[in-house]
């Protein structure tokens, strides 16, 4: 008996027990607020444990009863956990800094609120950047499509002019008037096309300057001189298409080809990446909303959300790369399609289903390959 009394006096509550007692009080507080049916015996055990720790009367039997009651309480609040309760709990600031004293902040913001605020700000920044990039992409696409439409119109007008010349060598008055009208239309169409090329040059120059792709000053001065020469040529003097010098024509072709490359890169690679990230952000914000409402958010949930963002970005990039490889041989009309952007967003939103489907597809291919080898 004396040995048992001595051992009980030496038996002290560890740091884990002290932390568990604080957590048990938090669980009791939450269970009471939400109206859970708490066993009175478990409440008595927790309160007795707190009393014995204060009086330094902790022993083995008390600790056994405490852990059993603590387990019953944590099972009672499932799927809410102690970690999720802590993430949604405000704490009193014991030693506030200058900023907190100035604004009279007495409580720390909860971990759940900080996380929601971070992802909300991140989503807003991502949407603004994506919107600016999409507007810039649309401007280049519209100008290129207008140039393409102008080329088609000029070809159609030229065909009509050829038909008029073939029909009669000596043009009558009505045919002459029609020819003059077509020449004026041709001049307007080509003038509009050249103005779009000049605007497209400014569009391309912005990317070159932003990513330091611009040529040296001498080349830029030569280009400006060619541009000024072209502007002089396109002033509407006589009706008909203004014939540009060969160097100016070569520069215009270079502008169109360079802008097509930029549009394809932005539309098939960069924008799908952003849309995949936006889809993943949509999922994360919806998941955070559900978790915070149900008190299920924990500190470890942030790891899942970060991985989700990375996977969504990878899925969006993969959609753009695969789509670009499939469509790269098609005409420039692909820039008008929103297909890869929609697929990239849906892939980021439902990334787990996308990768699961890909894994099943690859697994079925491997099974067929192995079965064919056995046969």
The yes-or-no verdict on residue 238 having pLDDT over 90 is no
Tell me the pLDDT band of 213, cut-offs 50, 70 and 90: low
Residue 235 vs residue 36, higher pLDDT = 36
Tell me the pLDDT band of 230, cut-offs 50, 70 and 90: very low
Q: How many CA atoms lie within 13 A of 47 on its CB side?
A: 8
- 82, with CB counted inside 10 A (0-12, 13-18, 19+), is buried
Tell me the pLDDT band of 20, cut-offs 50, 70 and 90: very high
Give the single-character DSSP code of 334: G
Residues in the chain: 375
Angle 40-54/60-76 helices, nearest 10 degrees? 140
Tell me the pLDDT band of 169, cut-offs 50, 70 and 90: low
The yes-or-no verdict on residue 225 having pLDDT over 60 is no
**pLDDT tens digits along 26-48:** 999 999 888 888 999 999 999 99
**pLDDT tens digits along 134-168:** 999 999 999 999 998 998 888 998 888 887 777 66
Residue 179 has what pLDDT?
78
H helical segments located in the chain:
2-10, 15-34, 40-54, 60-76, 82-87, 98-102, 111-167, 173-210, 217-233, 246-265, 271-293, 301-327, 339-349, 351-374
Give the single-character DSSP code of 244: P
Distance CA 112, CA 79 (A): 17
| Residues 363-370, mean pLDDT to the nearest whole number | 81
The answer to pTM > 0.75 is no
Distance CA 276, CA 320 (A): 10
Which of 76-90, 97-111, 181-195 has the lowest average pLDDT? 97-111
The yes-or-no verdict on residue 64 having pLDDT over 50 is yes
| Residues 91-95, mean pLDDT to the nearest whole number | 64
Which of helix, strand or coil describes residue 108? strand
Residue 295 has what pLDDT?
85
* Dihedral Cα 50, 51, 54, 58, nearest 10 deg: -80
Angle 217-233/173-210 helices, nearest 10 degrees? 160
Give the single-character DSSP code of 333: G
The yes-or-no verdict on residue 257 having pLDDT over 50 is yes
Tell me the pLDDT band of 321, cut-offs 50, 70 and 90: confident
Q: What is the overall mean pLDDT for the chain?
A: 80
Residue 206 vs residue 165, higher pLDDT = 206
Q: Are 187 and 246 in contact (CB under 8 A)?
A: no
Give the single-character DSSP code of 266: I
Residue 90 has what pLDDT?
74
Residue 329 structure tokens: 């041989």
Give the single-character DSSP code of 91: E
Residue 22 vs residue 362, higher pLDDT = 22
Residue 72 has what pLDDT?
92
The yes-or-no verdict on residue 10 having pLDDT over 80 is no
Distance CA 263, CA 200 (A): 11
The yes-or-no verdict on residue 218 having pLDDT over 50 is no
Q: Are 190 and 158 in contact (CB under 8 A)?
A: no
The yes-or-no verdict on residue 231 having pLDDT over 50 is no
User: Domain extents for the chain?
Assistant: 2-78, 120-374
The percent of residues above 90 in pLDDT, for the chain, comes to 27
The yes-or-no verdict on residue 278 having pLDDT over 90 is yes
């Amino acid at each position: 008996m004396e040995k048992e009394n001595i051992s009980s006096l030496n038996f002290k509550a560890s740091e884990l027990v002290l932390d568990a007692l604080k957590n048990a009080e938090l669980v009791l507080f939450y269970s009471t607020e939400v109206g859970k049916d708490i066993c009175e015996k478990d409440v008595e055990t927790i309160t007795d444990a707190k009393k014995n720790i204060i009086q330094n009367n902790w022993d083995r039997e008390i600790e056994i009863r405490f852990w059993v009651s603590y387990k019953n309480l944590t099972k009672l609040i499932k799927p809410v956990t102690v970690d999720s309760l802590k993430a949604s709990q405000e704490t009193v600031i014991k030693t506030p800094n200058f900023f907190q004293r100035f604004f009279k902040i007495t409580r720390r913001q909860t971990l759940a609120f900080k996380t929601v605020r971070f992802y909300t700000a991140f989503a807003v920044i991502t949407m603004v950047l994506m919107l600016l990039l999409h507007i810039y992409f649309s401007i280049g696409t519209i100008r290129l499509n207008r140039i393409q439409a102008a080329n088609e119109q000029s070809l159609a007008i030229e065909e009509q002019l050829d038909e008029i010349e073939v029909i009669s060598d000596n043009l009558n008055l009505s045919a002459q008037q029609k020819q003059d009208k077509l020449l004026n239309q041709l001049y307007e169409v080509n003038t509009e096309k050249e103005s779009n090329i000049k605007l497209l040059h400014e569009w391309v120059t912005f990317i070159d300057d932003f990513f330091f792709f611009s040529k040296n000053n001498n080349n830029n001065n030569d280009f400006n001189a060619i541009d000024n020469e072209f502007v002089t040529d396109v002033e509407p003097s006589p009706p008909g298409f203004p014939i540009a010098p060969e160097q100016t024509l070569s520069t215009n072709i270079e502008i169109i080809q360079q802008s097509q490359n930029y549009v394809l890169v932005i539309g098939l690679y960069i924008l799908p990446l952003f849309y995949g990230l936006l889809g993943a952000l949509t999922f994360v914000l919806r998941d955070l909303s559900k978790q915070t409402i149900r008190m299920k958010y924990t500190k470890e949930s942030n790891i899942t959300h970060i991985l989700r963002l990375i996977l969504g970005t990878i899925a969006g990039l993969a959609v753009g790369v695969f789509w670009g490889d499939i469509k790269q041989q098609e005409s420039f009309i692909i820039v008008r399609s929103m297909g890869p952007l929609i697929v990239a967003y849906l892939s980021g939103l439902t990334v787990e289903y996308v990768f699961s489907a890909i894994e099943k597809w690859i697994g079925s291919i491997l099974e067929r390959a192995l079965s064919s080898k056995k046969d």
